[in-house]
Amino acid sequence: MIMVGAMAATLWGIGIAMKAPYSARWTMLAILIIGVMMLHIVLPAGHELRMATGGDARLWGLLIGFGFIVWGYRIVLARLRARARPVAASIAKPGTFSDSELNRYARHIVLREIGGPGQKALRDAKVLVIGAGGLGAPALQYLAAAGVGTIGVIDDDTVENANLQRQVIHTDRNIGLPKVHSAELAMVAQNPFVTVRPYHRRLTAAIAVDLFADYDLVLDGSDNFTTRYLVNDTCVAQGIPLIAAALTQWEGQISLYDPAHGTPCYACIFPNAPDPALVPSCAEAGVLGPLPGVIGAMMAVEAIKQITGAGDTLVGRLLIYDALYAQTRTIAIKPRKDCPVCAGKAAPATLVDP
């Protein structure tokens, strides 16, 4: 063994002196070891040369095998590094957009009202959507496509066949799946640069405060007044702007409520829930399939304007859309001084009456 080690060191030294590449040096060592192994095979047991070079051919076989393992590992590692380099080059530094993101959001960035700063504000924003049904479906799709960085969605329902006529974020193959997870799959498939937080549970007063605290803006697409009032109460208490919408049959409505900046809250405009007989559910009264898409897309538009500061939002205005007669009406709304939810929290002096 000592003799073979000395010969290997000599060959390696010669390679260094001749400035031979590593591949040539390793080739010389491989030839030496293979030669020694052949001597062990040819020479009889107990021969002096065999004894001087280890005494057993199996030792050199193991060494050769180990050499092949190392050689193979180096090749695989080199290939993995080569494949990883282009990906690493495309990853954006913190606070910047990757080339892929810049190309994806180019139509936003060229808009004077949004631009690069507005797109960055979208990426940094955290938006919570209540409901992944008719209104939530298009709102979630467009928020994800627009590049809103963090999107939470809470809903305790599962996808049903009857949902698919209007809740276009869900597909037939996802029937039976929780709506929040079905929506998450579609949103991440649409835009892998956004973070989706699905909450498969019913919104209750016990969790609302902690849940809302992590978001900058809330979109309410729920289908019952109990949830709507809970959402409004929580947003008012935490000073979070609320975009709330509702629809029935052929008609939808939407507004942005932000009492902390002088607007009314939802309870100012709808202080009491109507009789259930006057507001039948979609299952009872029906609903036009594209209508949730129209109003839900409006929710996303208002969210983008609120986040980027572009244009005028629906603060202080209630927009009503009648699809059957192709009419749109906008009604001015003001805070109620006696509102039990937001009285004293609004700043009327800042409210501009449209």
Residue 184 has pLDDT above 80, yes or no: yes
Residue 346 has pLDDT above 50, yes or no: no
Confidence of residue 34 (pLDDT cuts 50, 70, 90): confident
Give the CA count within 13 Å in the CB-facing half-sphere of 1: 7
Residue with tokens 């983008």: 304
Label residues 156-170 b or e (16+ Cβ within 10 Å = b). eebbeeebeebbbbb
The domain spans of the chain are 2-90, 125-350
Strands 317-322 and 327-332: antiparallel
According to the model, what pLDDT value does residue 223 have?
87
- What would be the CATH architecture of the domain defined by 125-350? 3-Layer(aba) Sandwich (3.40)
Confidence of residue 351 (pLDDT cuts 50, 70, 90): very low
Confidence of residue 19 (pLDDT cuts 50, 70, 90): low
Average pLDDT of the residues in 179-192: 96
Average pLDDT of the residues in 228-233: 96
What percent of the chain shows pLDDT beyond 90?
A: 63
Q: What mean pLDDT is reported for the chain?
A: 84
Over residues 272-331, the pLDDT tens digits come to 887 776 666 777 778 899 999 999 999 999 999 999 999 999 999 999 999 999 999 999
According to the model, what pLDDT value does residue 11 have?
63
| Angle, alpha carbons 342-264-130 (nearest 5°) | 85
Average pLDDT of the residues in 31-37: 71
Helix (H) or strand (E) holding 192: none
Over residues 72-125, the pLDDT tens digits come to 776 776 666 555 433 333 444 456 889 999 999 999 999 999 999 999 999 999
Over residues 47-63, the pLDDT tens digits come to 666 666 666 666 666 76
Q: 94 or 190: whose pLDDT is higher?
A: 190
